[in-house]
Each structure stands twice: as structure tokens, then as C-alpha cells.
């Protein structure tokens, strides 16, 4: 994406000017400004200027809160330093608007790179949900978080942890773009100092977290056809294109079979379902 100091500085200045412009008019909490510069630049480097509107809208509409209150725990009881709270606000005419707040809780000894990566993870879910967050499935209202769909009436969810695994691996790719800025002579002192703080951070190919399911999903993620769909159609809200593509290569309804197997593998540590998920991935990626 950037091949020279000039290119890297242009990207940084562009990202910084967007974040600063948004901050001037934002009426909701807006912490983590230095990290927003880095992540905006990383998102632009990864998704390209074709998707600048989605990126801009998320930074504008999402509240960022440095949390000092109670700490959220994951479904498996683990402490989660960052999470996104989503609120569906009913509007007249059976419509909804959505409010998102990303919280991060600093913990003692937290690595700076870890902090940026967990924040980037939450923002990436939001970027991949900004277009058409609401739709109907079997005439029931649902909202989506990437490829994860939640039914507003029953609270039932689909593809929750497949979304997590994909988002985790993809966040690793975006972090690598941010880390690449360290190879250039960045002029802006705030960004230069943040990049220095990241200097010794190691980004894994599988990303950070969800360690028992990311290796299962990784070969699928790396398939060039699937990778293109996940990058372009998830952000554009064409989820059907992703599921249909998978089903056309593996079999009818196999995408949701994969999603259920991954959910079960993560939530219940179900080894046979982990194997089933891996078989389906291998059937796609052969």
C-alpha cells in the first residue's frame, strides 16, 4: 500500500485529519484518539480508499470509552479487556437505529500492542456491520454483526463464533498494516510515538484470542476466493453471496452447518464438532 516515506506519511495525515474532524463534532464519548489515528490508517491500508465511507461512518457513530467501571466477562468466563455494547433503539414505523459503544478496560501490565489489537478487533466488527445492520430473516427482524445474525424477538444468534474467528484473523492482517508504518519515517510526533510503543509487538497470523477455533477457520480464510468474499461482501452486507458460495462448493446449507459446528466447538469445547467444522473447511478448500 505504501512504498515510500511520502506514501506512509500521506496515509497517516489523511487518517489523522479524518479522526480530528470527526472529534470536533462528536457529541458522544470519544477516548483513545492516538489509537484511533493508527487504526483508521490501518483500516484504510487494508480495505482501501473504496471503503473510506464505511470506515469514516464507524469512527463518527461509535462511542469510545476508557472504562473504569465494572468489567465484562466473555461467555466462557474469561476477562475481556474490550467489548462493544450494541443497543437497538426502536423508531416509529417498526424501524430501529443502532447505538454502539466500545469499552476498553486497562489492566495492570497490559501490553500496548495488545490494547491496540483488541480495540481494532471491536472496530472491525463495526465496520463490517455499518451497511444494512437490520434485515429480515423468515420475516423476523434481525440485526447483524458481520456475518453473525441476532433475532431481535428471541435473542437467538447465528454464526456468532464463526464471525469471531474470521474477525480475529482479519484483525491480525490489519495490525500488520499498522505495524508496517514502523518501517517508515513518520513525521507526525503523536503517531510516531504510538508506533514506537508498538515496536516489539508480535502479530500472529491467527490474530489474538479465540485460540481453539481460529486454526480451524484459517485455511478457509486463506482461500483466495473466500478471502475476497469475506473482505468485500461482508463489509458491503452481501452475506448471501458468502453463504451461497460456500454452499455451492460444499453442499446445501453447509455454511450454517459450519457456523453451528464452530459455535459448539467454542462454547462447549466440543471436539467432534471442531472436527466436523474442519472437515467442512477442507471440503471447501481442496
Query: Contact positions toward Zn ion, by CB under 5 A?
Result: 164
DSSP 182: G
Q: How far is the CB of 82 from Zn ion (least distance, A)?
A: 9
Cell numbers given for 235: 463489509
Q: How far is the CB of 258 from Zn ion (least distance, A)?
A: 18
Cell numbers given for 138: 423468515
* Spatial separation of the C-alpha atoms in residues 264 and 34, rounded to whole Å: 38
What distances in angstroms separate CA 138 from CA 113, 166, 247, one per listed residue? Answer: 42, 25, 19
The nearer residue to Zn ion, 164 or 263, going by C-beta atoms, is: 164
The nearer residue to Zn ion, 8 or 220, going by C-beta atoms, is: 220
The nearer residue to Zn ion, 82 or 181, going by C-beta atoms, is: 82
Q: How far is the CB of 134 from Zn ion (least distance, A)?
A: 20
Q: How far is the CB of 13 from Zn ion (least distance, A)?
A: 30
* Spatial separation of the C-alpha atoms in residues 210 and 74, rounded to whole Å: 11
Task: Name the closest residue to Zn ion (Cβ).
Answer: 164
* Spatial separation of the C-alpha atoms in residues 173 and 142, rounded to whole Å: 29
The nearer residue to Zn ion, 75 or 185, going by C-beta atoms, is: 75
3-state DSSP call for residue 101? strand
* Spatial separation of the C-alpha atoms in residues 128 and 158, rounded to whole Å: 16
Residue 120: name the closest of 162, 78, 159, 81 by CA. 81
What distances in angstroms separate CA 219 from CA 27, 125, 222, 278, 282, one per listed residue? Answer: 42, 21, 5, 9, 8
What φ, ψ does residue 213 adopt, rounded to 5°?
A: -115, -25
The nearer residue to Zn ion, 56 or 210, going by C-beta atoms, is: 210
Q: How far is the CB of 87 from Zn ion (least distance, A)?
A: 17
**Residue that the C-alpha cell 463534532 belongs to:** 25
Q: How far is the CB of 101 from Zn ion (least distance, A)?
A: 14
The nearer residue to Zn ion, 163 or 233, going by C-beta atoms, is: 163
Contact 37, 16 (CB under 8 A): yes
Q: How far is the CB of 207 from Zn ion (least distance, A)?
A: 10
Cell numbers given for 175: 495490525
- Supply angle C-alpha 39, 164, 90, rounded to 5: 85
The nearer residue to Zn ion, 40 or 161, going by C-beta atoms, is: 161
Amino acid at each position: 500500500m505504501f512504498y515510500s516515506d511520502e506514501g506512509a506519511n500521506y496515509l497517516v495525515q489523511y487518517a489523522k485529519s479524518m479522526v480530528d474532524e470527526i472529534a470536533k463534532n462528536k457529541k458522544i464519548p470519544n477516548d483513545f484518539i492516538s489509537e484511533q489515528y493508527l487504526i483508521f490508517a490501518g483500516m484504510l491500508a487494508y480495505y482501501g480508499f473504496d471503503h473510506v465511507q464505511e470506515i469514516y461512518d464507524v469512527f463518527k457513530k461509535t462511542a469510545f470509552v476508557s472504562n473504569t467501571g465494572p468489567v465484562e466477562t466473555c461467555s466462557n468466563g474469561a476477562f475481556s479487556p474490550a467489548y462493544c455494547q450494541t443497543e437497538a433503539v426502536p423508531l416509529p414505523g417498526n424501524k430501529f437505529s443502532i447505538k454502539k459503544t466500545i469499552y476498553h478496560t486497562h489492566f495492570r501490565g497490559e501490553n500496548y500492542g495488545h490494547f491496540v489489537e483488541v480495540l481494532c478487533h471491536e472496530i472491525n466488527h463495526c465496520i463490517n456491520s455499518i451497511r444494512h445492520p437490520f434485515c429480515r430473516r423468515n420475516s423476523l427482524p434481525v440485526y447483524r454483526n458481520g456475518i453473525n445474525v441476532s433475532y431481535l424477538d428471541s435473542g437467538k444468534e447465528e454464526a456468532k463464533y464463526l464471525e469471531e474467528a474470521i474477525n480475529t484473523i482479519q484483525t491480525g492482517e490489519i495490525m500488520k498494516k499498522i505495524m508496517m508504518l514502523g518501517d517508515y519515517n513518520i513525521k507526525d510526533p503523536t503517531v510516531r510515538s504510538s508506533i514506537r510503543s508498538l515496536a516489539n509487538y508480535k502479530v500472529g497470523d491467527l490474530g489474538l484470542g479465540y485460540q481453539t477455533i481460529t486454526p480451524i477457520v484459517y485455511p478457509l480464510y486463506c482461500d483466495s476466493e473466500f478471502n475476497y468474499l469475506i473482505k468485500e461482501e461482508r463489509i458491503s452486507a452481501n452475506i448471501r453471496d458468502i453463504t451461497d458460495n460456500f454452499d455451492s462448493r460444499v453442499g446445501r446449507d453447509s455454511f450454517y452447518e459450519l457456523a453451528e459446528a464452530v459455535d459448539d466447538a467454542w462454547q462447549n469445547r466440543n471436539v467432534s464438532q471442531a472436527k466436523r467444522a474442519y472437515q467442512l473447511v477442507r471440503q471447501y478448500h481442496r
